[in-house]
Amino acid sequence: MIFRCSRCLYWSNHPLGITFNDQGLCSGCQVHEEKDKIDWLQRSEELHSIFNARKLESKYDCIIPVTGGQDSFFTVHYAIHELGLNPLLVNFNRTFNSKEGLRNLALLRTSFDADLRQFNINPSVTKAVINCTLANLGSLNWLWIAGQTSFPVRLAIQLDIPFILWGAHQGIEQVGMYSHLENVEMTRRYRREHDLMGYDENDIFEFDPNFSADDIASLSYPTDQALLRSGVRGIYLSNYVRWDPTAQHEFVNKTYGYGGRKASRAYSFFDNPDCPAYFGVHDILKHTKFGYSKATDQLTREIRHGRISRAKALDIESRLTLAKPDGIREFLDWMGVSPATMNALLLQHSGEFASRVLEGEWFKEDFRSYFPGKVFRARRNDSYLDKDYQNIGKGV
Ligand SMILES: [Zn+2]
């Protein structure tokens, strides 16, 4: 039986894994409480000492992976103005970009007068990988996450840059996977198991043998031996700074002009403005697989920071998750995918969603209405649902 946390809006089937105490309080809420107990000034000094301890021979002190959204502005701001570092900004081009995201990325580079390296995979391979992961994993984001988590690491080794400074650790932020005080750093295992839903670039070969070794190499993560030899470390800023994305977004919006993007299903427009599909196809996929959407993440965050009551958040969530998603047609046109194919994909990956409907839970809208056209007509018998349940927990 799926249930919710007694404080936030997360369900017990959260794809990153979540645990509950005797009072029904989730691990994410428990670890969030550390934010009001930790001496953040001391933590900041610890971060300074990490960077100061390493004698640098490269031009850059660290790499900062950036996009046209999320925590890029704040992380770069903190690195330059609080830590006094000279970062190399690194971007994996998602190819399917919003104009707001492109503007933010350009603004980031000029605001901080920073060097930026970008990696581009050609559009046809980009679409082929997305098509492959949509079909096999029900994931739109897999390629982009694979690229964003591997290119900075390859480049750090190649250029002999000792640190990569990431923004938030999502496992800690969302579900309290570790304490902030464990100083968790990037690992191949976390990337594969959680960021990439248990499948790395080598597994793409198994899904589709038509991909070339070059295609896979552009997403490859360095070997453990190469990482060990280089001594490259990936540090998460959210372990050393009291992490509050809403406050950070407002700060970088006022200070640098960081811009959001309106979306019908979003509570905050400042999250993921660079991806035109994030609150569209991605959000519907997330909803059909797990029964909750990005708005649930955003509202959970606001509850934990004490800016909204649970009752009000539930009310807003119920409205946003029924809102018609934006940009469906643009994405289908870009991918060259028909509405019927997208319907089939959604149905194929709708195990958890289906169970919610059967239990009469809160999401009652039929997702197929979002994709007008010929609707896939598979029989949803018991064995079909059983097959789908095996996919639960693999993430979107
Ligand atoms: Zn909770």
Answer whether residue 391 shows pLDDT above 60.
no
pLDDT tens readout for residues 59-95: 899 999 999 998 999 999 999 999 999 999 999 999 9
Answer whether residue 146 shows pLDDT above 90.
yes
Where does the pLDDT of residue 376 fall: very low under 50, low under 70, confident under 90, or very high at 90 and above?
Answer: very low
pLDDT tens readout for residues 27-63: 999 999 999 999 999 999 999 999 988 766 778 999 9
CA of 62 to the centre of ligand 1 (A): 34
CA of 194 to the centre of ligand 1 (A): 19
CA of 353 to the centre of ligand 1 (A): 21
Measured at the CA of 350, the angle between CA 124 and CA 344, to 5 degrees, comes to 50
CA of 304 to the centre of ligand 1 (A): 8
CA of 283 to the centre of ligand 1 (A): 21
Top pLDDT among 65 and 375 is at 65
Mean pLDDT of the chain: 87
pTM equals 0.89
* pLDDT at residue 396, as a whole number: 30
Answer whether residue 346 shows pLDDT above 50.
yes
CA of 12 to the centre of ligand 1 (A): 10
Least confident of 70-79, 219-228, 364-373: 364-373
CA of 286 to the centre of ligand 1 (A): 19
CA of 180 to the centre of ligand 1 (A): 17
- In order, the DSSP letters of 141-198 are SHHHHHHHHHHHHHHHHHHT--EEEES--HHHHHH--S-GGG--B--HHHIIIIITTT
pLDDT tens readout for residues 164-191: 999 999 999 999 999 999 999 999 999 9
CA of 237 to the centre of ligand 1 (A): 22
Query: Token pair for residue 262?
Result: 């309106």
* pLDDT at residue 303, as a whole number: 98
Query: Token pair for residue 314?
Result: 């539930």
Reference 312, options 27, 8, 88; nearest CA is 8
CA of 330 to the centre of ligand 1 (A): 35
Residues whose CB is less than 8 angstroms from the CB of residue 256 and which lie 6 or more positions away in sequence, other chains included: 73, 77, 107, 108, 111
Q: Which residues, listed in sequence order, are joined to residue 235 by a DSSP beta bridge? A: 165, 185
CA of 8 to the centre of ligand 1 (A): 4
CA of 210 to the centre of ligand 1 (A): 43
CA of 305 to the centre of ligand 1 (A): 12
CA of 257 to the centre of ligand 1 (A): 32
CA of 24 to the centre of ligand 1 (A): 8
CA of 7 to the centre of ligand 1 (A): 5
* pLDDT at residue 367, as a whole number: 52
* pLDDT at residue 56, as a whole number: 65
CA of 3 to the centre of ligand 1 (A): 11
